[in-house]
Structure 1
Amino acid sequence: MVAQQALSTVDNLKTRGFHMANRCCLCQHQEETHVHLFFNCSYTNQVWSSILQWMKISRPSKNLKQELSYFDVGGTKWRMYWFHISLAATVYQVCLGRNRHIFRGECKRLDAIINKIKFVAAIRILMINHRARLSLVLDALNS
């Protein structure tokens, strides 16, 4: 749904006739659009930048469409898995965090979301490749 821009972001709801305030609930600075939410929002940009740093990819974060087509992670096939799994985990946790904030009034700390993404990504890598670097899993569990 995210890749197809089919999430119920405020801009999508407005096109369907719903009238509501159009502020991003995560950063409170700009209008909530699909493009803004992934990763133009200062909040989600910080999350994704931290995950890129964890993966030892030193470049600025891009928007979601560019990230989905990014293949220059260098290294082995498992690094590519690591990148795509981490991207999927990030998008999922951003969606969960946004929905928790809207529907329950809960706002998770930035470091808690980052640690959850690392944990989920490390466990999924381990499930795909049981010989994956143990240091990746241990790093995620210790952060």
Structure 2
Amino acid sequence: MVILDRLPTQDQLQQMRMDVEQRCLMCETGLKFRDHLFACCTYSRQIWTAILCMCNIERNVCSWDMELQWLCAKLKGKSLLVFFLKLAWGSFVYHVWEEHNRRKFRSLSRDVAGLLDCIRKSIQLRVQNRSILMNDVNKKLCVSWGVPL
């Protein structure tokens, strides 16, 4: 849904002639549309940057299209890093959208650390019973994500 730009974001709802709030519920500055919500929003950007850091990747988040292009190039192969990045990307998109809806419909919010903790826990659950070859790179990755060795 996200990649196809089918989420009911502000720009999508306005095309259906619905009256919607103009500001982003996460950072309260930008407009609510996919590119802003997942790449430009300061809240989301902090989360994605922290996820990349936990994967031992230093990278400046640019735009939705550039991140998607970068991910398509990186998410090839069967390494543990690729596995973590796939889980992290999916979890990031899911949890940011869930946080958006929590704020909109329930007036509840989590800070960056709280949402990052949810992402970390969801990935830990997916990885905990997986057999992992323990080399230095994989060990560092598991320690960074809090996955028991």
Q: How far apart, CA to CA, are the structure 2 residues paired with 1:73 and 1:91? A: 16
Q: CA deviation at 1:57?
A: 0.3
Change (3 A) 1:58 1:74: farther
Counting matched residue pairs gives 141
Normalising by structure 2, we get a TM-score of 0.82
Q: How far apart, CA to CA, are the structure 1 residues paired with 2:75 and 2:12? A: 32
Q: 1:140 aligns with which of 111, 126, 145?
A: 145
Q: How far apart, CA to CA, are the structure 2 residues paired with 1:137 and 1:83? A: 12
2:131 counterpart of 1:130: yes
Over the aligned positions, Cα root-mean-square deviation in angstroms equals 2.4
Counterpart of 2:39 in structure 1 is 39
Change (3 A) 1:2 1:44: same
Asked if structure 2 preserves the Cα contact closer than 8 Å seen for 1:85 and 1:125, the reply is: no
Q: How far apart, CA to CA, are the structure 2 residues paired with 1:141 and 1:59? A: 22
Normalising by structure 1, we get a TM-score of 0.85
Asked if structure 1 preserves the Cα contact closer than 8 Å seen for 2:91 and 2:122, the reply is: yes
Note the alpha carbon deviations across 1:86-138, whole angstroms, 9 max, x for none. Answer: 011001000010000000000112101111112212332345x4226566555
Q: CA deviation at 1:65?
A: 3.2
Note the alpha carbon deviations across 1:13-38, whole angstroms, 9 max, x for none. Answer: 00001012211010001111111001
Gaps of 5+ in 1: none
Q: How far apart, CA to CA, are the structure 1 residues paired with 2:121 and 2:101? A: 21
Q: How far apart, CA to CA, are the structure 2 residues paired with 1:63 and 1:122? A: 28
Moved over 6 A (4+): 73-76
Q: How far apart, CA to CA, are the structure 1 residues paired with 2:115 and 2:29? A: 20
Structure 2 counterparts to residues 46-85 of structure 1, below 5 A = 46-69=46-69, 70=71, 71-72=73-74, 77-85=79-87
Counterpart of 2:3 in structure 1 is 3
What percent of counterpart residues are identical? Answer: 23
Q: How far apart, CA to CA, are the structure 2 residues paired with 1:139 and 1:77? A: 16
Change (3 A) 1:31 1:10: same
Counterpart of 2:101 in structure 1 is 99
Q: How far apart, CA to CA, are the structure 1 residues paired with 2:63 and 2:35? A: 7
Amino acid at match of 1:125: V
Counterpart of 2:21 in structure 1 is 21
SS of the residue corresponding to residue 111 of structure 1 reads helix
